[in-house]
Amino acid sequence: MDTTLDDPHAPLVGQLLDGRYRVDALIAVGGMATVYRAVDTRLDRVLALKVMHPTLAVDATFVERFIREAKSVARLDHPNVVGMFDQGADGAYVYLAMEYVAGCTLRDVLRERGALRPRAALDILEPVLAALGAAHRAGFVHRDMKPENVLIGDDGRVKVADFGLVRAVDTETSSTGAILGTVSYLAPEQIELGTADTRADVYACGVVLYEMLTGAKPHSGETPAQVLYQHLNAGVPAPSAVVPGLAAGLDELVASATARSPEGRPFDAVALLGQVRETRAALSDAQLDAVPPQALTEPADAAGSSEDRTNVIPRPLPPAGVGRTARLVLPPPGPAEEERGRAPVRRRRVGRGLIASVVAVLLVLGVGAGVWYINSGQFTRVPSLLGQTEKAAKSRISAAGLDVEKTDRKYSDTYERGTVMSSDPGSGARIRDNGKVALVVSRGPEVVRVPDVSGEPLAKARRDLTKAGLAPGMVTRELSDGVPRGSVIRTAPGSGTERHADSAVALVVSKGAPVDVPDVTGKSVQDATAALEDRNLKVAIAPERINSPEDAGRIARQSLTGGAGAAEGDTVTLTVSKGPRMIDVPDVTGDSVDDAKSALTAKGFKVHVDRPFLSFSDTVASQSVDGGGQAPEGSTITIKTKGL
């Protein structure tokens, strides 16, 4: 926020706003609003009160933008974004109640210290990009990034403030309207077309990084028009051209962020943050802690220049007979600016296209004169796509004579799942006939609540989870007295739980009411089947019979054991016995009782020891089945000891 303290709200200091907020002191004055330190008398909390200038409060457009800031920031729960507490109005005063950050702005630091060491610059830039990344992934563009809006707390925390110009990603302004922003940080497409997406914030962050590394802005001029001209026609110089000795990686980082063509920049702040971290990792401690030899020691723009203010900058209207295909080219810079523009730039040059015919018209505006050029050729406009379903958007693109290049999907808190949240080129952009448009379709909110699907049939529960933006996961089944067979008992995680979109949700499905399974082993097939069917269980007979102690034709075993819990309609598989297996009986006569028992049990027999009355012998005298004979597996062999 700007720090020029000519207060248009002087009567507010010492007053109670909206019966709740006691205004204690002026903090700063900006192009749209004044910020005060205040106390919330209900919660006894110090906060910052941002009050719109009364001259703007009568403009419904500005009031809408002001309220949009409150709603947008309130949704950005991020440690590096200034928190939003409340929004309201008291007579002519429209206000926002925000988190109060005791400290200073990055502009204050630059005015006092000039250029910063690379380590300090990156330490500030990273949390700024983290905050903007959260906004970008939530579907918002800040559009007014500058040192005034970077707050540095007394505790060292860095926070991004002033989302007053925030707009939804890919929302465009009219090319015949006004530019709202700060001239020193406007991206070329903001100046030329009046549009801004996440890459406009990336450009501004590149300019801020340049300013932190050099202590000066990359473009300057006597009028805002001259600054705007340089943004359009001159690349941002390499920081090392101003501060020799800076690492080449820092030059490349600035060049990437400030490419004049949006396509040449990282897509959003998250992508730029990744580049910043890669650059930092590649630098040595000596390179990170290099003291800038040409750091500005005199406070620059101590009073605050108009270039640092958020202003409404008129954009020239095309003269009569000139169509909407016109492009704005501002007057060239003076000799000093031309010399400045010759500084070496380590960057990839981006072509600006061919201009086929030129019509020069002199325009008199507050920002200076301009010249309109008209592009010839066959062009069309990308139809309005935002908020359309994917199918409808593709139909509109086809009807316009264009093709869909590709379709990406991203999370969005603002666009419904399955609707278009952005396109490249954007809606309304000029594109050659038969050109291609890339779509980004919303996957819905990144965090969604698990719906309550209990009691629903499994197929419907799966559809409801998919519709909510979640993935039906593993299905397990349990017995249930109250939930019909095939319907959902519960989910894991449970209903109401917040999960990332597309996360899997496990389903527990009812097997029906529990049924006690009777033990039918040893029964005939007919009797066993009747007993099971009486319990509403289904019966299957295994195709192969097995040897078992049960008589042939009797049930040897069942898949669900007697006493086990089952559900009505479950199937019990019965295996029929073909009788016991015949086993050779070893000869154990003459062996000790213990040795005889071991030999017989090892063969699968049971053993009974018969000791005659008053027999004290431990030697086997006879056995019920002679050695060498056969007996059924599992049958009992009796051994008898010698008597007196």
What was the pLDDT predicted at 565? 74
Name the CA dihedral angle for 116, 117, 118, 123, rounded to a multiple of 10 degrees: -70
* Whole-number Å distance between alpha carbons of 34 and 53: 7
Going from N- to C-terminal start, the domains of the chain cover 1-100, 104-296+307-313+322-377, 379-442, 447-510, 514-576, 582-641
Residue 624 class from Cβ within 10 Å (0-12 exposed, 13-18 middle, 19+ buried)? middle
Beta bridge partners of 293: none
Which CATH number among 3.40.50.2000, 1.20.1250.20, 3.30.200.20, 3.30.365.10 corresponds to the domain 1-100? 3.30.200.20
Beta bridge partners of 552: none
Q: Which two tokens stand for residue 601?
A: 């049990």
Residue 89 half-sphere exposure, CB side, CA atoms within 13 Å? 12
- Which residues form the catalytic set? 144
Which CATH number among 2.120.10.70, 3.40.710.10, 3.30.10.20, 3.10.20.310 corresponds to the domain 379-442? 3.30.10.20
What was the pLDDT predicted at 555? 95
- What average pLDDT does the segment 88-113 reach? 87
Q: pLDDT of 540-580, one tens digit each? A: 999 999 988 888 999 999 998 877 778 888 899 999 999 88
Would the pLDDT of 617 be above 50?
yes
* Whole-number Å distance between alpha carbons of 56 and 61: 9
What was the pLDDT predicted at 346? 34
Counting every residue written for the chain, the total comes to 644
Residue pair 612/641 in contact by the 8 Å Cβ criterion: yes
Which CATH number among 3.30.10.20, 1.20.58.340, 3.40.50.1370, 3.40.50.300 corresponds to the domain 447-510? 3.30.10.20
Q: At 394, which helix (H) or strand (E)? A: helix 390-399
What was the pLDDT predicted at 444? 78
Q: Could you give the residue ranges of the DSSP H alpha helices within 534-631? A: 593-602
* Whole-number Å distance between alpha carbons of 195 and 26: 33
- In the chain, % of residues over pLDDT 90: 36
Class of domain 582-641: alpha beta
* Whole-number Å distance between alpha carbons of 587 and 627: 4
Q: Picking from 60-74, 173-187, 240-254, which range would have the lowest pLDDT averaged per residue?
A: 173-187
- In the chain, % of residues over pLDDT 70: 79
What was the pLDDT predicted at 222? 66
What was the pLDDT predicted at 180? 55
What was the pLDDT predicted at 301? 45
Q: pLDDT of 373-405, one tens digit each? A: 223 335 677 887 877 888 988 988 888 888 888
Q: Specify the higher pLDDT residue, 155 or 490.
A: 490
Q: Say yes or no: domain 104-296+307-313+322-377 is CATH 1.10.510.10.
A: yes
* CATH code assigned to 514-576: 3.30.10.20
What was the pLDDT predicted at 318? 39
Q: pLDDT of 308-357, one tens digit each? A: 555 545 554 433 333 333 333 333 444 333 333 333 333 333 333 323 32
**Locus of tokens 């295994």:** 542
**Locus of tokens 């490419």:** 259
Q: How far is CA 580 from CA 539, 583, 602, 605, in A?
A: 24, 9, 16, 12
Tell me whether domains 1-100 and 379-442 share a fold. no
What was the pLDDT predicted at 211? 93
Instruction: Return the closest-CA partner of residue 451 out of 398, 396, 501, 381.
Output: 501
Cα dihedral 112, 117, 119, 124 sign = positive
What was the pLDDT predicted at 46? 93
* Whole-number Å distance between alpha carbons of 127 and 107: 16
* Whole-number Å distance between alpha carbons of 139 and 132: 10
Residue pair 148/171 in contact by the 8 Å Cβ criterion: no
Q: Can you give the pTM of this predicted structure?
A: 0.48
Q: Specify the higher pLDDT residue, 158 or 28.
A: 158
* Whole-number Å distance between alpha carbons of 25 and 208: 29
Q: pLDDT of 71-87, one tens digit each? A: 767 777 788 998 888 88
Q: Which two tokens stand for residue 548?
A: 């078992």
* Whole-number Å distance between alpha carbons of 229 and 245: 29
Q: What is the mean pLDDT of the chain?
A: 79
